[in-house]
Chains A and B, each alone.
Chain A
């Protein structure tokens, strides 16, 4: 078991944002989290990445609890993520974004950074080379020197994914990767996500509203509504689950 959520509950003051969320993600899964807006999907990501502490329950990564760890420790441990609203660094080039993502895998300390020692230069050169390879893979190498904020929307999304990949994670959490994309961009994204799993061996957990993408990509998924789990299973099973249909389409009047 790569990642396991056990009865996770999150309360903000008196409001229960998540209640009793439990699921398991296996290595190699492309795991979907779907549900209406405000259902608590991003909150699940925030629980996993340590943005907020869980109120109760536990998050296990490779069998070890990661509750209470700091965000950077969790990324260092092997869980990276992207954001629902693109969060890129103003005034940084595309290449620099990848290097920031690679930060936790670099070892040069303060002294090496100050003195620009031989080992620091070597590490930097290797990081830059790897960053170019990664950018080539996602198709952004031709704009490596451009400011990230100058890129079109679809490429900014890709850059976020590449930044997460630069941390060499075991799992990447994608928060609505296809939001705002047209059909052809979404098709390319589907190939990209599949490639990340098949070629890099990275497990994917994604939140998405685009049902076509979810049904094509995910081998398992959960449905969340009002902070509760409505259903869990293979896409086809979930699609036909009456509770899910009700959550999305409402109940038929008898």
Chain B
């Protein structure tokens, strides 16, 4: 237990949670067949908004994180109105371009401190541990305040991941989710079955941007330092990989993808220079053998059936 609670593991866990949220944002747009690659841009809007609000205006952290998401969604609305009608690769290129524009703007603005980035962003871990020690929780657990803060952050992020997951899960299993699925399967037939395609695409796009903004804000408060290089298109490629690797047709896919692809590079750290090669080979192999990602509809159905059967079999 003591070993598991070291700072490194907790830090990796924090990144797993943030990456799961990011992977889910890609999944949300993919739900309506949109390939949107602007999420690094939305992430940086969320990160900078929350960081600046917390640093300069002393806005409480939960509120500043929420504002980060809202600002990202507001930007998405402005970007979405002209671009949401673009299909497939055209939207991908347009949103990718948007992400780069945001990065260059952040690089040149005074309030974002340009290429130097923002440092000394209020830490989520320490604010949580302050809060907990006020309640007398830390003494009760017998942990030092730094570990306790990190542990609390992990728990908070885990709760958030679960909430976001269920948020989208509920939405998918409703009239709205059916509309998403119909649009993804055949946009033309969906629109001629009475579905307002643009409205639902925009909805998915805005939710995706909102949660990308939230993830960016969390990232800022988890690392205390952000600079434009944190939000390059590499970041989007990572997010896309999590989702595609895990399986982009089912919600468990991004969850699995983000977890595995965050842990693998960390566990390969010992192999330093071979790390990227192994990582790359893994991805190539996966695309060769399971082009739909590890988890597909059929895989999830199969597992669900096994899980349903096993309690009876155990008796």
Cβ of A91 under 8 Å from chain B? yes
Which chain B positions have C-beta within 8 A of A219? Answer: none
B195 contact set on A, CB distance < 8 A: 72, 100, 103-104
Interface-forming stretch among A9-17, A30-38, A80-88, A179-187? A80-88
Instruction: Say whether A101 contacts B194, CB under 8 Å.
Output: yes
A113 at the interface (CB under 8 A from B): yes
A123 to B176, CA, bound (A): 13
> How would you classify the secondary structure of chain B's contact residues: helix, strand, loop or mixed?
helix
- Asked whether, in the complex, the Cβ of B192 is within 8 Å of the Cβ of A51, the reply is yes
- Chain B stretch 208-260: residues in CB contact (< 8 A) with chain A: 249
Nearest 6 CB-CB pairings of A with B = A104-B194, A113-B174, A89-B185, A75-B194, A87-B189, A113-B176
Is A110 an interface position by the 8 A CB rule? yes
Q: Does B90 contact A (CB under 8 A)?
A: no
Q: Are A115 and B185 in contact (CB under 8 A)?
A: no
A92–B170 touching, CB < 8 Å: no
In the bound assembly, the distance between CA atoms of A123 and B174 in angstroms comes to: 10
* CB-CB contacts below 8 Å: B154-199 with A: 167, 170-171, 173-179, 181-182, 185-186, 188-197
A81 to B193, CA, bound (A): 8
Contact B186 A103 (CB under 8 A): no
Residues of B close to A113: CB separation below 8 A: 170-171, 174-177
**Nearest B residue (CB) for A149:** B185
Given the known interface contacts A113-B175, A114-B167, A120-B174, the answer about A89 and B191 at a Cβ–Cβ threshold of 8 Å is no
Instruction: Confirm or deny: A236 has a beta carbon within 8 angstroms of a beta carbon on chain B.
Output: no
Complex alpha-carbon distance, A206 and B200, angstroms: 31
Q: Does A29 contact B (CB under 8 A)?
A: no
Asked if residues A89 and B194 are in contact (CB atoms below 8 Å), the reply is no
Q: Please report the C-alpha to C-alpha distance between residue A87 and residue B182 in the assembled complex, in whole angstroms.
A: 11
Say whether B170 contacts A115, CB under 8 Å: yes
Q: Are B194 and A91 in contact (CB under 8 A)?
A: no
Cβ–Cβ contact B193 & A108, under 8 A: no
Q: Tell me, in angstroms, the Cα distance from A198 to B35 when the chains sit together.
A: 45
Is A89 in contact with B196, judged by CB distance below 8 angstroms? no
Q: Does B203 contact A (CB under 8 A)?
A: yes
Is B167 within 8 A of A103, CB to CB? no
Interfacial chain B residues near A115, Cβ < 8 Å: 170
Asked if A54 lies at the interface with its beta carbon under 8 angstroms from chain B, I say no
Q: Which residue of B lies closest to A163 (CB)?
A: B193
**New A-B pairs, 16, CB < 8 Å, besides A88-B189, A103-B178, A163-B193:** A75-B194, A76-B194, A80-B193, A87-B186, A91-B185, A96-B181, A99-B178, A100-B178, A100-B181, A103-B182, A103-B193, A108-B175, A110-B176, A113-B174, A114-B170, A115-B170
A239 on interface, CB distance cutoff 8 Å: no
Is A167 located at the chain interface by the 8 A CB criterion? yes
Residues of B within 8 A of A81 (CB): 192
Flag whether B297 is at the interface (Cβ < 8 A).
Answer: yes
Question: Distance in Å from the Cβ of B181 to the closest Cβ of chain A?
Answer: 6
* A76, A88, A103, A163: the one within 8 Å of B179 (CB): A103
Shortest CB-to-CB span from B201 to chain A, Å, is 13
With a cutoff of 8 Å between Cβ atoms, the chain A residues found around residue B193 in the complex are 75, 80, 100-101, 103, 163-164, 167
Chain A hits for B188, CB < 8 A:
87
Instruction: Using CB atoms, name the residue of chain B closest to A73.
Output: B196
Shortest distance from the beta carbon of A91 to any chain B beta carbon, whole Å: 6
In the assembly, what is the distance between CA of A101 and CA of B84, in Å?
A: 24
Q: Which of A108-130 contact B (CB under 8 A)?
A: 108, 110, 112-116, 120, 123-124
Cα of A49 to Cα of B189 in the assembled complex, Å: 12
Q: How far is the CA of A71 from the CA of B196 in the complex (A)?
A: 8
Any chain B CB within 8 A of the CB of A70?
A: yes
Find chain A residues with CB under 8 A from B190 CB.
89, 100
B183 CB to closest chain A CB (Å) equals 9
B22 smallest CB distance to A (angstroms): 21
Which residue of A75, A92, A101 is within 8 Å of B181 (Cβ)? Answer: A92
Find out whether the CB atom of A96 lies under 8 angstroms from the CB atom of B170. no
Asked if A106 lies at the interface with its beta carbon under 8 angstroms from chain B, I say: yes
Nearest A residue to B185 via CB reads A89
Name the residue among B167, B175, B179, B249 with the largest chain A CB count within 10 angstroms: B175
Evaluate contact between A89 and B170: CB separation under 8 angstroms: no
Shortest Cβ distance from B166 into A: residue: A114
- Chain B contacts for A75, CB-based, 8 A: 192-194
Smallest Cβ-Cβ distance to A70: which chain B residue:
B196
Known A-B contacts A72-B197, A108-B175; the reply to A91 vs B181 at CB < 8 A is yes
Given contacts A100-B178, A108-B175, A116-B174, contact A72 B167 (CB under 8 A): no
Q: State A110–B176 Cα separation when bound (angstroms).
A: 7
Enumerate chain A residues within 8 angstroms of B177, measured Cβ to Cβ. Answer: 113
Task: Name the CB-closest residue of A to B207.
Answer: A110
Give the CA-CA distance A58 to B262 in the complex, in Å: 59
Is B182's CB under 8 angstroms from A92's CB?
yes
